[in-house]
Structure 1
Amino acid sequence: MSRRIVSPPVEAFSKLRQPLTAGERAVFEMFDRNLPIEWEIYVQPHMNGLRPDFVLLNPKVGIGVFEVKDWDLDVMRYSVEDDGGGIPVLVAQRDGKHFSMQRENPVIKVRLYKRSIYELYCPRLETNNGFAAITAGVIFPYAATQRVRDLMKHFLSHEEVEEYAKYHPVSGMAEVRSAKVRAVFPEAFRPGSRIMTEALAQDLRGWLVEPDFAATQREPLILDHNQKNLVITWPTSGYRRIKGPAGSGKSLVLAARAAHRANQGKSVLIVTFNITLWHYLKDLVVRGLKKSSNIELIRFDHFHNFCKRACYEAGFNGRYDSLFEDYLKLKDKRQKDYLFRVAIPRLAEEALESGNVEPFDTIMVDEGQDHEPKWWNIIRKALKEGGEMLLVADATQDVYGTGKAWTEEAMHGMGFSRGRWAQLKTSYRLPPIAKNYARNFAERFLPPLTADLPDDGQTDLTLENCSLRWVQCPEEKGAEVCVSELMLLMRQTGTKGLANADITYLTDDTKVGEKVIAHLSDRNIRAISTFNQSVMERRREKMGFYMGSERIKATTLHSFKGWESRLLVVYVSQFRTDESKALVYAALTRLKRSPDGSWLTVVCATPELAAFGRTWPDYHERGHDVVLFHAVAK
């Protein structure tokens, strides 16, 4: 007996980060029990920057997008007002307070969802009937149908009111309770449509299936014996340092220990150098917490924001603001570096020594090689007496040139006991074949004394599907080729537990990145990016960069260090300095292994790497024309 396609699977509903409401659950059960089996149900899909409650898809019939509202129309008084320009606005009153509900207006939302689907796919059909393939419905499971329709009719055009029962159905309590699916979704029972095709459905699935990162977020943290030992046991000195190659689980151990301490009621500070790494670490930490509220005991910070907070807590905000304003105004790189690396950290140290800054039970520093050793002694001044500290590092990913300063001599007096670092040797993240190429890259291009490479391992390289593709191109073609390769990756989504929201684009050139984002936008494809040329705007973009976004991810090679993805396009245009070489290595090690497959494409505009690229399984010069979607426009 065939089973309906439901994504995420029903058994995962209880673990969703945004649980279904009672009304959404009732609507799902109505659809699941009464729709023909050919209809696929997608719950809260990550749809090109949007999150509708339900999208229904039948490759032979069409698409349905639905917004569900658990509103009780008697709890608040809902009405419609004119905004002064002839536009109706949904408002509500409760306890004497009057406020707008327009942002939650379900008709406005489903109209946006329908338009988004149409703009992505239907124009390629060369027909004006594309809208007819999409039903956009609103469902109120706890309100009388007529009251809902009387309220919502103000937001439907005359044409929509005339045809609401067919393409814009508005349903209420009666339809849901009696499972009148034909009233809720009349088009569901059509035998077929000349507009809808399997190729279109395959494209759309890439925006509808649950992304790999969302499914992973429901899983508990899984550690091997060595990793567990590093989490559960702790040195009597209170200080531990861990090193290991990319993908060996350093951040995993840090996150598990942070969760362990928070579960004990201890306060935790996690310090990174990059702003974007916070979100990745937080996603790991929450998977190890016994109760979600324990996250409140953990503070995530990057080093320079840690300095700012310390200064503000100690009342040094005026002095800090003066230094930061100077930093923004200065043009001379050496002067800016001095403020960034010396003056601001020194002021933070003074603030921490004032006794007016709240200390922590536990302090952890991830990607330690990105920090300067002297900063460690500043950070540890925020530690409570008898507390614990953890340093995690990988000198192979020395993308700022600071890693080589972490010598044993430099670390003397930092609190660590003499002896070897705790070591993680096995890379679990990388597919075996990708691990081999990353290792080969490091052996050819990185300084041998800094290279910390994963064990070779004995894994059969044929067991996992891993696509490694290299496209060599001239620099002026970089953005164009990157867009083509991103579009090519979309052919892998919609199946294998992969969605378009899993696709990640990394670049060492923010101007090329901006061009790529603009090209994607021209195709109505949205991306969350960190390429703004303004320092302050880019900082804000980084604060909002997280894998849980419904959009394609696009950022710099620096900002994605520590992260992972199954679908990667990496653009490389610089390969002269040790730091740029370490950055390429870091990018090559971001690929996440999976039994269902992983895909890494390098678009390279630097000739120094062409010979290395030719050793890859799938090598191309310049790039080529590609069909952007599964369907070929006639």
Structure 2
Amino acid sequence: MAILWPKKLPRSVLDDGRRKAEVRVYNRLSEVLDDDFHVFYSSPWLGTDRLGNEKDGECDFLVAHPEHGILAIEVKGGKEISFDPSDGQWRSKDHRNFVHKIKDPVAQARSAKHEMVTRLNDVPKWSKRFIHAAHGVIFPSASVPASSLGSDRPAHIFCGASQFNRDLRSWISDRLKEGKRPANCEPLGHDGLAALKRLLAHPFTLSFRIGAALAEAEAEFRVLEPTQYLILDAIADIPRALIRGGAGTGKTVVAVEEAIRSASEGRKTLLTCHSRPLAMSLKRKLGGIENLTVLGFHALCGKTSKNAGVPKPMNVGERDFYETELPNMLFQAVEKNPALKWDTIIVDEGQDFRPDWWIAIDACVATDGRLRVFLDSNQEVYGNAGITAQDLSVVPLRLSRNLRNTKNIHSVATVHYTGPDIIADGPDGLEVSWVTEDNNKTKMQAAYKEMRRLVFNEEVAPRDIAVLFNGPLAKEEFLGLTSGTSIPVTDAEEMALEEVVVDTVRRFKGLERSAIVLVVTGEEMERRELAYVAFTRARAFLCVVCAQDEVQWLSGGIV
């Protein structure tokens, strides 16, 4: 059996659903390789590019042999992996048929290989020499490309599900050129193995501190999640339902499940909301499901009116166009062409809709169609939320259990909540972290430091983090700080899978991440909305960066 580092995976890795593919590869490598091989799992590194900017990465697995050299392996899970040469984008489809953008696994493996060779050559006790170094990609649950994907992506560097299960050993042998070591390469040697152990496993620690806490919280939330679907059974025979609930009560989760169920029944189904970033996020998750359309409300108005041939009004200001004219065009479109109506319409975050927009939504529902409206019950922020049960003849129901936020986050968020009682069912979780700084500049620096700490010290994946601001000016100032870092960032609209989201609270509304760093700068947003919306975006870890005199009202005296 191969010599593995670590010799046993910690529970925090075994229970992390995002690492299932890596766990399978870890176990399989231990089975097929003998004890001449050393296998190093999850080796992070931090370096610089040619311009001196920081770059970081991780080698999922580094396989080392004293005669054959080293093999850097990148692992990608998912039942289907695809590559689109037109945009150079790799994608993974999970077991629920959700498609996610992923990083280029070949580039990751190749980068890890070069970095490991560089690091090895820098070890003073190892005699620098040219060794054989290879890279490869394993898809434990997906097939490999039928042919090469380019000169730097030949088919033989991929190991798919079939070969992984039947003959992984041969693939490793081929990648390491066992018995056919290039003439210009020398053996890695036992001194090379010793150098790698000093680099990667002496002492070997998997430091999953906050990262482990997030994984454990996510596992508990996954157990609780199916209980949210009970309400769908309750409304199955109700044509029109209004479901209220505070943040974290699962409104979006239930809305998505209702959309999937409706579409699977063959019903022409629409899932819509006001926020463009939320609409884009839902579309990425649900794209490709037959009978289901996901559109933001204004995109719905524009597309439907265009299909019906409804002309745009002339000489109308931008605000009037979006708030009044576009909804009117939607109403005219479905009146002109009833075939454009929907069998089921599901509205998420309904509190964001203006009262007169519901006239257009109501007109879009086909005869004997279904309407489901999900909205936030927080009267502190939203008041009446622009809709009552009488407006659309809907039957009101209520979600009363918080299944998104840990109890500690829920406790701080409820300071800014006025509405029906909500019970937090999640784990206690980590204490809310308060970082006090007196001016905007030092707040930005503190938030940047916290982001780096989470990624590099606490083993939190960038995809699990969002840094939020209560105004665009502060966001832009922070982005200036990140220009030289290796941590990839995105915004709420793109929400790239492997990147930290940096955006405003308002644009991140309706979305969530396991860890949130909130920077309060006193600009542009009513304080109650800032606190309530921002606090409830965090599932398991919340860090608030604010001035000392802001802690009292933000925490409600809890701190």
Q: Is the 8 A contact 1:574 1:606 kept in 2?
A: no
| Residue in structure 1 matched with residue 264 of structure 2 by the alignment | 263
Q: 2: CA distance between counterparts of 1:405 and 1:170?
A: 55
Note if contact 1:397-1:586 (Cα within 8 Å) is conserved in structure 2: no
Q: 1:181 Cα shift? A: 8.6
| Identity score, percent | 20
Cα deviation for residue 526 of structure 1 reads: 1.2
Scaled by the length of structure 2, what TM-score is found? Answer: 0.69
CA–CA distance in 2 between the matches of 1:277 and 1:519? 26
Residue matched to 1:545:
495
Shift of 1:349: 1.4
1:455 aligns with 2:426: no
Q: Contact conserved, 2:71 with 2:176, CA < 8 A, in 1?
A: no
Of 442, 445, 448, the match for 1:477 = 442
Q: Provide the aligned C-alpha RMSD in A.
A: 5.4
Distance in structure 2 (CA, Å) of the matches to 1:456 and 1:6: 29
Match of 2:537 among 590, 595, 598: 590
Question: What is the deviation of 1:4?
Answer: 4.9
**Within-5 A mapping of 1:388-407:** 388-396=370-378, 404=384, 406=386
Which position in structure 2 is the counterpart of 1:434? 409
TM-superposed CA distance for 1:466, in Å, is 3.6
Measure the CA separation in 1 of the matches of 2:373 and 2:445.
41
Letter in structure 2 aligned against 1:551: E
CA apart distance, 1:515: 3.0
Cα offset for 1:379? 1.7
Q: 1:178 to 1:573 in 2, by over 3 A?
A: closer
Deviation at 1:229, TM superposition (A): 3.8
The AA in structure 2 aligned to 1:583 is: L
Residue 79 of structure 2 corresponds to none
One of 539, 553, 557 as aligned partner of 2:505: 557
Aligned to 1:307: 301
Q: CA deviation at 1:140?
A: 9.0
SS of the aligned residue for 2:226 comes to coil
SS of the equivalent of 1:433 reads helix
Distance apart, 1:303 and its partner CA: 0.7
Quote how far apart the aligned CAs of 1:40 are: 4.2
Q: Given residue 34 of structure 1, which amino acid in structure 2 is its aligned partner? A: L
* Structure 2 counterparts to residues 366-405 of structure 1, below 5 A: 366-396=348-378, 404=384
Equivalent pair of 1:106/1:138 in contact (CA under 8 Å): no
- Provide closer, same or farther for how the CA distance between residues 483 and 348 of structure 1 changes in structure 2, counting only shifts above 3 A: same
8 Å Cα contact 2:464-2:500 kept in structure 1: yes
Unaligned runs of 5+ in 2: 1-5, 46-53, 77-102, 139-147, 179-186
| TM-score (structure 1 length as normaliser) | 0.61
CA distance 1:301–1:137, change in 2 (3 Å): same
| Partners of 1:110 and 1:582 in 2: CA distance | 44
Residues 154-553 of structure 1 aligned to structure 2 (within 5 Å)? 176-177=169-170, 180=173, 183=176, 190-193=193-196, 196=199, 222-224=225-227, 227-234=228-235, 238-278=239-279, 280-281=281-282, 295-316=289-310, 319-320=311-312, 335-355=317-337, 358-396=340-378, 404=384, 406=386, 408=388, 412-417=390-395, 421-442=396-417, 451-452=418-419, 454-455=421-422, 464-490=429-455, 493-494=458-459, 498-530=460-492, 542=493, 544-546=494-496, 549-553=497-501
CA contact (8 A) 2:466 2:517 kept: yes
Distance 1:29 1:170 in 2: 18
Query: Which residue pairs with 1:626 in the alignment?
Result: none
> 2:260 & 2:112 partners in 1: Cα distance?
38
Query: Which residue identity does 1:307 align to in structure 2?
Result: C
Contact 2:402 2:424 in 1 (8 A): no
**Distance in structure 1 (CA, Å) of the matches to 2:220 and 2:308:** 37
- Whether the aligned pair in 1 keeps the contact of 2:264 and 2:290 (CA below 8 Å) is no
Q: What one-letter code is carried by the residue in structure 2 that aligns with 1:587?
A: A
Pick closer, same or farther for the CA change 1:361–1:503 going to 2, 3 Å: same
CA distance in structure 2 between the aligned counterparts of 1:232 and 1:134, rounded to whole angstroms: 63
- Residue 278 of structure 1 deviates from its aligned partner by 3.0
Query: Contact 1:267/1:297 (CA < 8 Å) preserved in 2?
Result: yes
Query: What is residue 138 of structure 1 aligned with on the other side?
Result: 135
| Cα deviation 1:30-64 (Å, max 9, x = unaligned) | 57532769734459x9xx99999954389xxx996
> Alignment partner of 1:191: what SS?
helix
Task: Classify the secondary structure of the residue corresponding to 2:299.
Answer: helix
Q: Distance in 1 between matches of 2:379 and 2:202?
A: 42
Give, in angstroms, the shift of residue 259 of structure 1.
Answer: 2.1
Judged with a 3 Å threshold, the aligned counterparts in structure 2 of structure 1 residues 520 and 416 are, in CA distance, closer, same or farther, namely same
**Match in the other structure for 1:331:** none
1:231 deviates by: 0.3
In structure 1, give the amino acid aligned to 2:39. Answer: W
Distance 1:302 1:572 in 2: 28
Q: In structure 2, do the counterparts of structure 1 residues 221 and 265 end up closer, same or farther at CA, with 3 Å as the change threshold? A: farther
Kindly tell me: are residues 176 and 478 of structure 1, through their superposed partners in 2, closer, same or farther at Cα, counting changes over 3 Å? same
Specify whether residues 453 and 282 from structure 1 end up closer, same or farther in structure 2 by C-alpha distance, changes over 3 A only. Answer: farther
Q: In the alignment, is the contact (CA less than 8 A) between 1:15 and 1:218 conserved in 2? A: no
Give the structure 2 partner of residue 39 of structure 1: 39
Q: Which of 5, 8, 14 is equivalent to 1:3?
A: 8
Looking at both structures, which has the greater relative contact order when contacts are Cα pairs under 8 Å and sequence separation is at least 6?
1
**1:107-165: CA deviation from partner (whole Å, max 9, x where unpaired):** 7664445578899xx79x999x9x99999623499xxxxxxxxx99x979xxxxxxxxx
Q: Describe the shift of the 1:9–1:52 C-alpha distance in structure 2 as closer, same or farther (beyond 3 A).
A: same
Distance 1:413 1:563 in 2: 27
SS in 1 for 2:474: helix
Shift of 1:513: 1.9
Kindly indicate which of the two structures has a greater share of residues assigned to strand.
2
Q: For the structure 1 residues 614 and 387, does the alpha-carbon distance in structure 2 shift closer, same or farther, using more than 3 Å as the test?
A: closer
Counting matched residue pairs gives: 484
Task: State the one-letter code of the partner of 2:32.
Answer: R
- Distance in structure 2 (CA, Å) of the matches to 1:312 and 1:205: 52
Taking a change above 3 Å as real, the CA distance of residues 266 and 170 of structure 1, as seen in their structure-2 partners, is closer
- Per-residue CA deviation, residues 486-530 of structure 1 (Å, 9 max, x unaligned), is 122235633xxx423212111122232233233223122211125
Distance in 2 between the 1:255 and 1:310 partners?
22
Q: In the TM superposition, what is the alpha-carbon distance from 1:244 to its structure 2 partner?
A: 1.2
